[in-house]
Structure 1
Amino acid sequence: MDEKETLRGYLQTGREAMVWKLDGLGEYDVRRPLVPTGTNLLGLVKHLALVEAGYLGSTFGRPLPDAPAWMEQVESDPTVDLFATADESRADVVDLYRRVWAHSDATVAASELATEGTVPHWPAERATVTLHRALVHLIAETHRHAGHADILRETLDGAVGLRAEVDNMAPEATSSELHDRVEAAARAHRG
């Protein structure tokens, strides 16, 4: 496997993890804010659709065709991508994310890793990036948010891990006994 396909593979793993985090949950649970910042599962997917459309689309002169109007509103409303509105369905958001994947994958396929693009919202001295750097940045961003999604999903119903068939967790790590041991260790340091 060549380097470009290796990078694309790591990105795809993160993408699929994000979408899997929605499986089996009701509409309310995928949308509801679970922490004080308002972070929610469907909002994370919507945010990643925007981010990926930028880094692997517009950055390389390939804006997403037929992009939803909200993608143009980020400058006037920087929170527009952080949650699904009442009139946006889960299917709308997931379908958009999958459409962005296909568009991004076409950018990767058509370009060399050394191909340069410009990230308009980065400082001028580092706004010029290679496809390689954009892919690494996006992999980090996607997996960072997959970690957020993992914690949110565990909070909702206990489901954890990278994908349904392999949770990447040692059996002992999901036990209430481990939770109690960690709590006891923490309590030993309460001031």
Structure 2
Amino acid sequence: MNASNDAKADLKRYLQSTRSALLWKLEGLSERQMREPHTPTGMNLLGIVKHCANVEVGYFGETFGREWPHPEQVVTEAQWSQDTQADWFATAAESSEDIVDLYLRIWAFADETIDALPLDAEGTVAHWPEGRNTVTLHQMLIHVLTDVTRHAGHADIIREQTDGDTGLSQNNTNMPDDVDWPAYVEKLRQLAIASDAQTPAAAADDRARKQPLRQQ
């Protein structure tokens, strides 16, 4: 295996790990819990998965001349023109099983593109500005990995807010076992309160005291 194939295998492995972690964040929750918005902009777990599915089907499909065989299952241009948030929530007609199954099938579709093409294979992102819309598979792997990883982080926070469940992945929580979390949170809260009480002048004096002395 040459260096290019090694790099592609690494990127694909990290992408798959992040995909799996994202879906794991849905396990054990009710339909309502998966759909409940948690931020002022409506971020919700099932919507994150639907968004990532639509991201992958476009960047690993149309970009490289491949059409998803079931266009009615993803958000269409017409739907986006009517609602720019159309890929960020499951409709009343879509169940969590529908969304998860769609993403699993899009994984396989995307992986076919990744496996078939070299990293320097060129494609075109139709909705990107002219002059930067010609891309390579390498770029798209990094772009999608970055996007899915970012949203997996959103899912981490939403899941913890929902039922307190945490962890990096199903087989690796990556969380210490010996922390008194309520006490830790209270410690951070008190630090925040103390920082709010500090006046701008006092903060400036404090920063000045911490500056290293200049050598003469």
| Pairwise CA distance, 1:70 | 4.8
1:53 maps to 2:57: yes
Residue 13 (structure 1) aligns with: 17
| Pairwise CA distance, 1:45 | 0.1
| Pairwise CA distance, 1:156 | 0.4
Give the stretch that moved more between structures: 175-184 or 39-48. Answer: 175-184
| Pairwise CA distance, 1:3 | 1.1
CA distance, structure 1, for counterparts of residue 37 and residue 140 of structure 2: 29
Kindly report which structure 2 residues correspond to 1:9-158, keeping only aligned pairs within 5 A, or say none: 9-68=13-72, 70-72=74-76, 73-158=79-164
| Pairwise CA distance, 1:171 | 3.0
**3-state DSSP class of the match of 2:86?**
coil
Query: Once superposed, what is the RMSD of the aligned Cα atoms?
Result: 1.5
Q: Give, as a single letter, the amino acid of the residue that structure 2 aligns with 1:78.
A: T
Give the stretch that moved more between structures: 169-178 or 22-31. Answer: 169-178
**3-state DSSP class of the match of 2:88?**
coil
Q: Would you say the 8 A contact 1:60–1:116 is kept in 2?
A: yes
| Pairwise CA distance, 1:67 | 2.5
Q: Would you say the 8 A contact 1:30–1:42 is kept in 2?
A: yes
Can you list the C-alpha shifts for 1:72-126, whole angstroms capped at 9, x where unaligned? 1223321111000111010100011011100000001110000000111111111
CA distance, structure 1, for counterparts of residue 9 and residue 172 of structure 2: 23
Q: CA 1:190–1:135 in 2, change beyond 3 Å: closer, same or farther? A: same
CA distance, structure 1, for counterparts of residue 178 and residue 40 of structure 2: 30
Which of residues 148, 171, 190 is equivalent to 1:165? 171
Q: Give, as a single letter, the amino acid of the residue that structure 2 aligns with 1:157.
A: D
Can you list the C-alpha shifts for 1:126-162, whole angstroms capped at 9, x where unaligned? 1011000000000000000000000000000111122
Between structure 1 and structure 2, the one with the greater Rg is 2
Q: Would you say the 8 A contact 1:70–1:80 is kept in 2?
A: no
CA distance, structure 2, for counterparts of residue 42 and residue 175 of structure 1: 27
Q: CA 1:111–1:33 in 2, change beyond 3 Å: closer, same or farther? A: same
Count of residues paired in the alignment: 191
**3-state DSSP class of the match of 2:168?**
coil
Q: CA 1:108–1:173 in 2, change beyond 3 Å: closer, same or farther? A: farther
Q: Would you say the 8 A contact 1:43–1:83 is kept in 2?
A: yes
Unaligned runs of 5+ residues in structure 1 are none
CA distance, structure 1, for counterparts of residue 180 and residue 108 of structure 2: 35
Q: Would you say the 8 A contact 1:172–1:178 is kept in 2?
A: no
Give the structure-1-normalised TM-score.
0.95
CA distance, structure 2, for counterparts of residue 75 and residue 52 of structure 1: 20
Deviating above 6 A after TM superposition, structure 1's stretches of 4 or more consecutive aligned residues are none
Q: Give, as a single letter, the amino acid of the residue that structure 2 aligns with 1:150.
A: D
CA distance, structure 2, for counterparts of residue 69 and residue 105 of structure 1: 18
**3-state DSSP class of the match of 1:117?**
strand
Can you list the C-alpha shifts for 1:161-187, whole angstroms capped at 9, x where unaligned? 221231122235671121111111111
Can you list the C-alpha shifts for 1:22-51, whole angstroms capped at 9, x where unaligned? 000011000110111111000000000000
